[in-house]
């Protein structure tokens, strides 16, 4: 069930069998804190079982689509093994939410998308990008490995060269039009 916190963090509207889930934390760039990820999970669970939902559109309150995982809002000091296990479990749960969803999901990227919000968008059935959209995957710059199936999926979607440009040292951040031309 949706909690009152979930209702505040993710706005759910349904019209003509299309349910729009709008991430609603613009002061934090719709970043994925534990609370936001829980609210998204709750909203996806409701949409998955709702007869009135045929397709889900995921978007963010302007001006950002999502700044991705908010490390300050998710990481806690812990023993390295425990911290690694916690990160792996949360990433698995997050990406499984997209992979296992029983209905089509469209990512409506209305502004900057960073990290996990980009990689999860590629797990959706389609991406719709506004002129304000940008797609940033700063993994190499942060010294972390690409996540969310991106090390495999990006090459299939974008081709080897563009996948390397986005995930590698160059850190290419395509805008909506560039992303369209690249196949994203």
Q: In the numeric block, which tokens belong to residue 11?
A: 């706005």
Contacts of 94 (CB under 8 A, 6+ apart): 32, 37, 116, 120, 148
Q: Which residues of 37-58 are buried (b: 16+ CB within 10 A; e: fewer)?
A: bbbbebbbebbeeeeebebbbb
pLDDT tens string, the chain, 184 residues long: the values are 444 444 599 999 999 999 999 999 999 999 998 889 889 999 999 999 999 999 999 999 999 999 998 765 555 666 778 766 776 787 788 889 999 999 999 999 999 999 999 999 999 999 999 999 999 999 889 888 888 789 899 999 999 999 999 999 999 999 999 999 999 9
Q: What is the DSSP string of 23-34?
A: E--GGGTT-B-H
The pLDDT of residue 75: 57
How far is Cα 162 from Cα 168, in angstroms, rounded to an integer?
Answer: 10
Q: Which residues of 10-34 are buried (b: 16+ CB within 10 A; e: fewer)?
A: bebeeeeeebbbbbebeebbbbbbe
Strand partners, 109: 129
On the 0-12 / 13-18 / 19+ scale of CB atoms within 10 A, 72 is: exposed
Please name the helix (run of DSSP H) or strand (run of DSSP E) that holds residue 55, with its range, or none: strand 55-60
**94, 177, 132, 165 alpha-carbon torsion, rounded to 10°:** 50
Cβ atoms of 86 and 50 closer than 8 Å: no
Instruction: With 0.75 as the threshold, say if the pTM is over it.
Output: yes
The pLDDT of residue 95: 87
SS3 167: helix
The pLDDT of residue 77: 65
Please name the helix (run of DSSP H) or strand (run of DSSP E) that holds residue 119, with its range, or none: helix 116-121
């Amino acid at each position: 069930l949706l909690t009152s916190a979930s209702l505040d963090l993710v706005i759910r509207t349904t019209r003509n069998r299309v349910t729009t889930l709008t991430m609603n934390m613009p002061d934090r760039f719709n970043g994925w804190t534990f609370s936001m990820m829980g609210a998204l999970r709750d909203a996806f669970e409701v949409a998955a079982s709702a007869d009135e939902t045929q397709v889900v559109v995921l978007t963010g309150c302007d001006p950002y689509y999502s700044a991705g995982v908010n490390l300050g809002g998710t990481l806690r000091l812990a023993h390295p093994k425990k911290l690694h296990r916690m990160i792996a479990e949360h990433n698995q749960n997050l990406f499984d939410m997209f992979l296992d969803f029983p209905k089509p999901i469209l990512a409506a990227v209305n502004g900057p998308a960073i990290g996990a919000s980009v990689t999860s968008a590629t797990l959706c059935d389609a991406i719709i990008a506004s002129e304000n959209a940008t797609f940033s995957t700063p993994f190499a710059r942060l010294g972390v490995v690409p996540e969310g199936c991106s090390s495999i999926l990006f090459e299939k979607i974008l081709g080897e060269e563009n996948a390397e440009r986005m995930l590698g040292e160059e850190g290419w951040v395509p805008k909506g039009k560039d992303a369209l031309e690249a196949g994203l």
